[in-house]
Chains A and B, each alone.
Chain A
Amino acid sequence: MTDSANNPIPQAAQRLSGSQLIIKLLERQGVTTISGVPGGANLPMYDALVGSDIKHILARHEQGAGFIAQGMARVTGEAQVCFASSGPGATNLITAVADARLDSVPLIAITGQVPQHMIGTDAFQEIDTFGLMLPITKHNWIVRSVEELLEVIPEAFRIALSGRPGPVSIDVPKDVQNQMIDVTEWPEPGKAIETPEFDAADVTKMMERIRAAHRPVLMIGGGIVYSGATELLREFAEKLDIPTVQTFMGLGVLPHEHPLSMGMLGMHGARYTNYVLEECDMLIGLGVRFDDRATGKVEAFCPKAEIIHVEIDHSEIGKVKNPVLSIRGDVGEVLEIANRDLEPMQRPLWQQRVAQLKEASPLILDGDDELFRPYGAIKHVANILDDSANISTDVGQHQMWVAQAYPMNRPRQWVSSGGLGTMGFGMPAAIGAALAQPDRKSVCFSGDGSIMMNIQELATAAEENLDVKIIVLNNGHLGLVRQQQTLFYDKNLSSVKFNQGTDFAACAESMGVKGVDLAKEENPLEALKTALLEHGPCMINLPISETEMVYPMVAPGGANRDMIGGEA
């Protein structure tokens, strides 16, 4: 475009090092916050970070950094970046990256690597980061020259955000970080590519089938959240009058009290929810992947139903269940077409049957009025907060209790490790949520097992003075393991009790976070209210009995119809 002959001052080249180039490219991507830990092999990147507008969050462990970035990504839907050095820095990131892969979270991990001439020599803090990240990312790179960065960084954002989102990793040897380059032309920032095209005629066919079905059920998942299709889905479900189950990743798409919502399905779904699925003649899966925790024994899942599957990742179609009709596409675009001139209809007979099953086998929230019982604790917290709060969890019994009982009412309110089930996810993810959305309270339910797996990040929460509230449902055990040993291993309790307890309130105080032990409070409910409503990080210990169970429960590998416990 510029005619250099007529332009006496040609575009001046900018001379930058590889690490300066990385920071510049990240700024151009709109990155405002990076979590990470510096070390020998990424020192140049940290040198270049000084003077940038990007805010750096110094995590206390690289896994914490990874989950902080995940928390930011999960509540915003934007790709987020974490930094780590080579060797142990990179291996510590692995769990957070793998977790992002299973839950389709756009995470960009940038690691330092030893200089290229030392690669393969077992150098200090050398590890094959490329090889380690390969099976747990959508794509990954080792960057061999500074020029490659101009392509790789935008490409990383493009891949992380396109189609079904997911993590990518970029390994940058130290010599590449130090290599100089003259940049005259900047690449366009990477963004999601166009969604796959589909045939609108398939939507018409789908609608004909759905209208013809007598007992249809909608199964909605994370794809609805990631596609931003919540409103479209609500309209679709309401106009077609279809009872709806939500996968773990889809919680919040339908409001908790919505008349069509049957809550979560599967291993810890309500009895009636799984019974309705037994009887349905059509299951319409929208943005779901038929995870085994949702389906139970696949052969016994929805035995009478034809399957319709709308999904952006074509490898998920037919992977677990063979649909009679499938559309590979963005679920929001499919619903947008489906909703055009959508004639409302009603299914009184089917709704009556669903109501009957619900009446006979509702979700039983035992003890939900008692503060020191799991459902009671969750209900009391929910009553104090409003829908603006983001809710994260760790992994275990507390996670399932929250998934069952907390009134999740909007998409991206729910932040939890579904696919990988990573203990230690909750607090750093809550920190990330608070960083990305400082106006919302960030509430993390945890257990005394999970919280110990990344407890060091309390110091990070204190340092940033974030409005993060951690509620530890403390039963002195690895509760979900204890539950499984009780139910499936003849009560042979093995290595599930913590004989040495931890004073979590004191632990929090030692890292600059307010600690509250509700067991020691004269008016525990008041203390809980005060702790939740004031601004700033706080850890709240809430003792519960180790005999509490998550019910109903389907045995791993069992059919969803064969639930244990939770009878009315």
Chain B
Amino acid sequence: METLAPQAKSVLRLTVNNHPGVMSHVCGLFARRSYNLEGIMVRPIADTDGKKSRMWLLLNEEEKLQQVISQTEKLVDVLSVEKHELEDSVFEKTQGFFNS
């Protein structure tokens, strides 16, 4: 299996409200504060009646990670933010879809 770019180290697991605009709010925050976002995966969470989504973010922001988390937590539609290991993450498991 191909490995991920070595500099991309942090994975965040977000629980968000599933309604139009929430992707824009999260991606917009990362763009305007110049946080390096290397990957994003999002699907509705099963058993929430389509009300919530899980968003996985792959980041290259070790130094600013706490600031990234604090800013993300301020978004109204973000219900929780958790740090997650890269190992066994959705990004490792799907790497095969992103090889040339």
User: Contact residues of A with B, CB < 8 Å?
Assistant: 130-131, 134-135, 138-142, 144, 159, 313-315, 317-319
Where chain A touches its partner, the secondary structure class is mixed
If the complex has contacts A130-B21, A319-B67, are A135 and B32 also in contact, measured as CB distance less than 8 A?
Answer: yes
Q: In the complex, what residues of A have CB within 8 A of residue B76's CB?
A: 138-139, 159
Rounded to whole Å, the gap between the CB of B77 and the closest CB of chain A is 8
Q: In the complex, what residues of B have CB within 8 A of residue A130's CB?
A: 21, 24
Kindly identify, within residues 1 to 42 of chain B, every residue whose CB is under 8 Å from any CB belonging to chain A. Answer: 20-21, 24-25, 28-29, 32
Where chain B touches its partner, the secondary structure class is helix
Q: In the complex, what residues of B have CB within 8 A of residue A319's CB?
A: 67
Of A138, A144, A315, the contact of B71 (CB 8 Å cutoff):
A315
A135 close to B74 (CB less than 8 A): no
Rounded to whole Å, the gap between the CB of A315 and the closest CB of chain B is 4
Q: In the complex, what residues of A have CB within 8 A of residue B21's CB?
A: 130, 134, 140-142
For the complex of A and B, the 10 pairs showing the least CB-CB separation, nearest first, are: A315-B70, A139-B76, A135-B32, A315-B71, A134-B28, A135-B28, A314-B70, A134-B24, A315-B74, A319-B67
Rounded to whole Å, the gap between the CB of B69 and the closest CB of chain A is 9
Q: Which B residue sits closest to A166, measured CB to CB?
A: B74
B89 at the interface (CB under 8 A from A): no
Q: Which B residue sits closest to A134, measured CB to CB?
A: B28
B95 at the interface (CB under 8 A from A): no
Rounded to whole Å, the gap between the CB of A325 and the closest CB of chain B is 16
Q: In the complex, what residues of A have CB within 8 A of residue B70's CB?
A: 314-315, 317
A131 close to B24 (CB less than 8 A): yes
Q: In the complex, what residues of A have CB within 8 A of residue B28's CB?
A: 134-135
If the complex has contacts A142-B20, A159-B76, A318-B66, are A134 and B25 also in contact, measured as CB distance less than 8 A?
Answer: yes
Q: Which B residue sits closest to A136, measured CB to CB?
A: B32
Q: How far is the CA of A319 from the CA of B71 in the complex (A)?
A: 10
Q: Which A residue sits closest to B32, measured CB to CB?
A: A135
Q: How far is the CA of A130 from the CA of B22 in the complex (A)?
A: 11
Rounded to whole Å, the gap between the CB of B74 and the closest CB of chain A is 6
Rounded to whole Å, the gap between the CB of B98 and the closest CB of chain A is 28
Q: In the complex, what residues of A have CB within 8 A of residue B20's CB?
A: 142, 144
Rounded to whole Å, the gap between the CB of A432 and the closest CB of chain B is 26
Q: In the complex, what residues of A have CB within 8 A of residue B73's CB?
A: 314-315
The interface centre, meaning the residue of A138, A139, A144, A315 with most chain B CB atoms within 10 A of its CB, is A315
Q: In the complex, what residues of B have CB within 8 A of residue A134's CB?
A: 21, 24-25, 28
Kindly identify, within residues 36 to 79 of chain B, every residue whose CB is under 8 Å from any CB belonging to chain A. Answer: 66-67, 70-71, 73-77
Q: How far is the CA of A138 from the CA of B29 in the complex (A)?
A: 11
Q: In the complex, what residues of A have CB within 8 A of residue B66's CB?
A: 318
The interface centre, meaning the residue of A135, A138, A318 with most chain B CB atoms within 10 A of its CB, is A135
> With contacts A134-B21, A135-B32 known, what are 16 further pairs, Cβ within 8 A?
A130-B24, A134-B24, A134-B25, A135-B29, A138-B74, A139-B75, A140-B21, A141-B21, A142-B20, A142-B21, A144-B20, A159-B76, A314-B73, A315-B71, A315-B73, A318-B66
Interface pairs (27), CB distance under 8 Å: A130-B21, A131-B24, A134-B21, A134-B24, A134-B25, A134-B28, A135-B28, A135-B32, A138-B74, A139-B75, A139-B76, A139-B77, A140-B21, A141-B21, A142-B20, A144-B20, A159-B76, A313-B74, A314-B73, A315-B67, A315-B70, A315-B73, A315-B74, A317-B70, A318-B66, A318-B67, A319-B67
Rounded to whole Å, the gap between the CB of A136 and the closest CB of chain B is 9
Rounded to whole Å, the gap between the CB of A331 and the closest CB of chain B is 18
Q: In the complex, what residues of A have CB within 8 A of residue B24's CB?
A: 130-131, 134
Q: In the complex, what residues of B have CB within 8 A of residue A139's CB?
A: 25, 75-77
Q: How far is the CA of A139 from the CA of B29 in the complex (A)?
A: 11
Rounded to whole Å, the gap between the CB of B68 and the closest CB of chain A is 9
